[in-house]
Structure 1
Amino acid sequence: MPDVRPSAPSDDEIKGYYYGFPSKPKLVARTSFTPWHQPSGAGSFLRSKRLRPLGRHRIAEIWEEKLVPQIHTILCEGEIDFNSIEAWRIGHEPSDWNVIVWIGVEPQSLSFDVGIEVAFKCKQVLLDCGVDDAEVEIKESKLLRLAGARLQNPSSKLDVVAAQREPFTSALGIPICAQRTPWASGTGGFFIDEGGEGKRLFLVTVRHVAFPDSSDVTDTENKVFMYTTQDQDRHNILVLDDRLLRKHLDSLDGLIHDEEDRIREHSDILQKMKGKTVAVTMRQGHIIAKDLATAKKQSLETLRHDLKNWTPLTNRILGHVLFSPRFAVGVGRKKCTDDIAVIEVDPSMIDWNEFMGNVISLRDAPTLANLDARMNANITRVAFPSDYYLLHLQNIISDEEMKATSTDPDDRLNTMVVLKSGMASGLTVGLSNNIRSFTRYGRNMVVQGTSWEWAIVGVDGNPFSEVGDSGSVVVDGHGRIGGMLTSGNGHPKVDVTYATPITFILDEIRSYGPLANARLKPGPYDDH
């Protein structure tokens, strides 16, 4: 290891080194000697960088057992206020995607002089382990928690107001919050039932949405919650907080007004055409446009009328929390984040004759063909009537499959491509890393614990998730569930999204006696 060190980055490099990342993280230090230049001159601009999964590399073979423990020791001995240790490929395009061990530290907690020494100590660990084609970079970041009426059925593609109806349906991505803490909104993850002869339906989400004021390792109220008798007070969960409901209703009012304007516009044109020689096709075009606007206005008004029942808060009670283990990190053999809440859904909230089970609406995708291409998988909808844009969820992704590798980090056939539908950012597509990220939770240098996370980045430079997406289920193109979104790294936007694997979640849920036989809720079109 040479004694020479790179010079301190300029202010421009600190701010521009990770240009293109959603959160625009600031660089602290890096071990590479490659010069960074601020573009100058007319028409010059910074090139965007991207994060890509590690893929097949020596690091993947020794990551959890050897590399991370040694790097963790170096950071702790140096009293570094870090929050994540990860490995990704970072660059502008496939030809320059370099392997980077990426360390996140709390903002303004680490100087360059200390950071560069720590970075080279970590680089020496890589060299000692036979890894000579990777660099170490330290950046500033924060860990973020991404926290009456009847749910309507998912819309068919023939429904002209399907996009407006979506938040009020049972398709996954349901916006929820606790009745006691409506300021903390999140997303309903996936449905389960009791198995066997049980008839109850449950929705799984994250604890920090259901109990935002008692979902920290050090909180005195961070205790196991179990609803065991009807004498207990229910901890109710709502669909939509008041702010979101008002936003949707105002949007509907605006759309109704827009259609009224279109109807008047075409009516005026048709009136002026009377008694004049006008091409039949032109007149017919305005008649059709007016009829379409009239039909859409009527559909919007019908939906707006139906949603009057959602205004009283008591009519938006989805159900109540049945079970939620205490929030903890580094739990069990897999050292996962335990951030789970199981909601018992009130029977009155579901139309049981039409309930479709676990489905994700693909309506937000530009086209199904485009989504298929990005997912590199055939989106299986054959079990549903052809007029539905729905991805049917069945089965799970195993822990072993999450570690699938690729010789080419841009080869999407060998990189696991996933999607999620969240309350805040809707339908997004991402790439999962084949090694887990190591995260550390703490406040003001008081360490609360460490955990291993399933890490995902968005495609095309877009974040995979935003604040409000906590609880979203993460799936592959075949509808297999991989995990549930819990947190992210970056501030204020998210560069890397973290999810807890579904295998761990189901094990935790089944550890609670009444849910010992819990299973993913089958739908009417499931394989039996």
Structure 2
Amino acid sequence: MDTSGPPSEDECARYYYGLPSGPRLVARSSTSPWAPPTSEDFGQSPKILKPVAHHSVASLWNLHTEKGSLRSDVLEVLKKQRASWAAIDMLRAGYLDHPDGFQTVLFISVVPNSTTWAQGHAIVTKVQSILTSHGIGDITCEVKESQVHRLASQETETLPQLLQAPLHGPYHSYKHQLSDQIGTSIASQATPAKEGTKCIYLTAGQRSHGTTTTNNKAAQVVFALTCRHVCLPMTDTAEYLPTCSPLAPLAPLAPTAQVMIQPGAVSFAKALAGIKTNNADLAALAFKVEHSPKLDPATRLARLDAIRAHVRNSQQVLDDVESRMALGSRAFGRVIYARGLDVQTTFLTDWALISLDAQRHQESLLNLRNRVHVGNISLQEMFMEQQRMVPFAQPDADGTITLANNVIPVSEMEHPTTLNVEDEATMIVGKRGRGSGLTWGLSSGIRSVIRCPSSLSHEVYSDEWCIVGADGLLGSAFSTGGDSGACVWDVQGRIGGMITGGNSANGAAMDVTYATPMEWILEDMKACGLNVNIV
């Protein structure tokens, strides 16, 4: 890029080729000419993002926010430049086929069409100078067009119980959304097409006269955790907590506003259409076999028997799905507590607790576990090179992992203790969400900083746990719309946090995923008078 003028249209459009959302470049501090390497498989080599391995900038950025600190100085530049910025991420960027050429970059995401090259160039020049003044000479700065998106899906348009039995087999994808596993689609009955994801189950003793009882199992209540913005409108920033009479403030809303359903409208329609198509395909196959002149009678009969067995199983699944046609039949609980949408300490509080309805679950609520479906895979075989010397979680026979009831400490997220084959500190994480299903990611030890929603009455910034996709494939993303609320966990089965949003140019696939550490969420709940435990 010629530093005396803006980058070419070709560079702006193709500089981030390979990132899931394909953001546009505005400006960069690097003076190296743009000459992306080529690949036999992709033509232009795709660019990918990786976490920053051990670097002195981590502690400077994560722990120091006072005036004169690196973070404060960068934020001051953005304020003085009146930048319409959304997020700051610090990651390594490079090309898939050139693993030795990764460069650590401080990315500043700005609202599309809000920032000219001249404005962007002024920002990267000043930020580069700030980095140098803090003794950091190996990090460059780039401004790109991207926004922060909350990952609830967008709206378009005898009581059955959530299933508990093992769900392996060819119909798992349909029955999973009807199960009590985590990672399933949920929505408010008032806005059934705005879907998110069920995170984890928590227990708490019932409150009585200002005290909490946790040692009496019969007195315990069970909650499902998800994001507040999945359940309530973003314009509603009120608190619904034990000290605020949780039931009364919700009463003015529509009667269905408190009721949560599983699955949401879009996921339900997709499952219904899918199983109907499967039934039609089986019927067509049976007709073809029955009228095939090439099969002898014995072979024809054997094949028809096998197909009819599949038809019976498929019809049973269809019956299960069709029994939930009415929204009310998919209700599984109601929102009882929700933290006000604001920044507490350093992170945006965006959580809600759903009190579960025992009559809508086959399993006793106190026996629920945080089971997530990964399939019949070996995590050790998948990640032994990226994550050495750790006790990998092993899926049960039904393909689910039962997550541990302890959490990954934030200190370990920021200073991973495990190494990959190249002796780089690495933490592999996974999640199952309504939007993108099962995906794998890399945890970054450097916090991202986002500008908080415009619905808040004052401008505040939030620290976020930063995660990028681990596949290293063109267009791979750790999260998409609908994944808000999804639980993030490591290969040992420890719970890390809850997805709340992501950074993307198009609002679909996220280049960067943001999550709130579970350690912070549990501490915040305790501060609100909720003494909860992971089941």
TM-score bracket, normalised by the shorter chain, equals 0.7 to 0.9
Equivalences for 1:26-425 in 2 at 5 Å? 26-37=24-35, 45-64=43-62, 65=64, 66-92=69-95, 93-147=98-152, 148-153=159-164, 155-157=166-168, 159-194=169-204, 195-197=214-216, 198-211=219-232, 213=233, 215=234, 219=235, 221-226=236-241, 228=245, 233=251, 235-269=258-292, 272-274=294-296, 289-329=303-343, 331-332=344-345, 335-352=346-363, 355-363=367-375, 371-373=382-384, 376=387, 379-381=392-394, 384=396, 387-394=397-404, 395-405=406-416, 411=422, 414-425=425-436
Segments of 5+ residues of structure 1 without an aligned counterpart are 276-282, 522-528
In 2, Cα distance between equivalents of 1:51 and 1:121: 24
Q: State the AA in 2 paired with 1:196.
A: N
CA separation of 1:340 and 1:21: change in aligned 2, threshold 3 A: same
One-letter identity of the residue aligned with 1:246: A
**Structure 1 pair 103–319 and aligned structure 2 pair: CA distance change class (3 A):** same
Indicate the residue corresponding to 1:465 in structure 2: 479
CA distance change for structure 1 residues 356 and 289 in 2, over 3 Å: closer, same or farther?
farther
Query: 1:176-210, CA deviations, whole angstroms, 9 ceiling, x for partnerless residues?
Result: 11111223211111000114323321100000011
8 A Cα contact 1:471 1:486, kept in partner:
yes
2:442 alignment partner AA: L
Q: Match of 2:514, as an amino acid?
A: Y
1:510 aligns with 2:510: no
Distance 1:444 1:411, change over 3 A: farther
Residue of structure 2 equivalent to 1:433: 444
Quote how far apart the aligned CAs of 1:511 are.
Answer: 3.1
What is the CA–CA distance in structure 2 between the aligned matches of 1:410 and 1:129, rounded to whole Å?
A: 32
What's the % identity of the aligned pairs? 27
Is the alpha carbon distance of 1:342 and 1:44 closer, same or farther for their aligned partners in structure 2, counting shifts above 3 Å?
Answer: closer
The offset of 1:499, in angstroms, is 0.3
- Which of 426-435 and 290-299 deviates more? 290-299
Q: 1:14 to 1:346 in 2, by over 3 A?
A: same
Contact 2:338–2:352 (Cα < 8 Å) also in 1 = yes
Is the CA contact (8 Å cut-off) linking 1:12 and 1:38 kept in structure 2? no
Aligned-pair distance for 1:154?
5.2
Q: Is 1:455 aligned to residue 474 of structure 2?
A: no
CA RMSD in angstroms, aligned pairs only: 2.9
User: 2: distance between equivalents of 1:178 and 1:290?
Assistant: 43
SS of aligned partner of 2:409? coil
List alignment gaps of at least 5 residues for structure 2.
Answer: 153-158, 205-213
Moved more, 497-506 or 404-413: 404-413
Letter in 2 for 1:30: R
Tell me the secondary structure at the aligned position of residue 135 of structure 1.
strand
**Shift of the alpha carbon at 1:36?**
1.2
Match of 1:182, SS state, is coil
Shift of the alpha carbon at 1:369? 6.3
Alpha-carbon distance between aligned partners in 2 of 1:240 and 1:89, rounded to the nearest angstrom: 37
1:245-273 deviation digits (Å, cap 9, x = unpaired): 2221111010011112222333333x544
Give TM-score, length-normalised by structure 1: 0.86
1:477 to 482, 485, 491: 491
Name the residue aligned to 2:516: 500
1:43 Cα offset (Å): 10
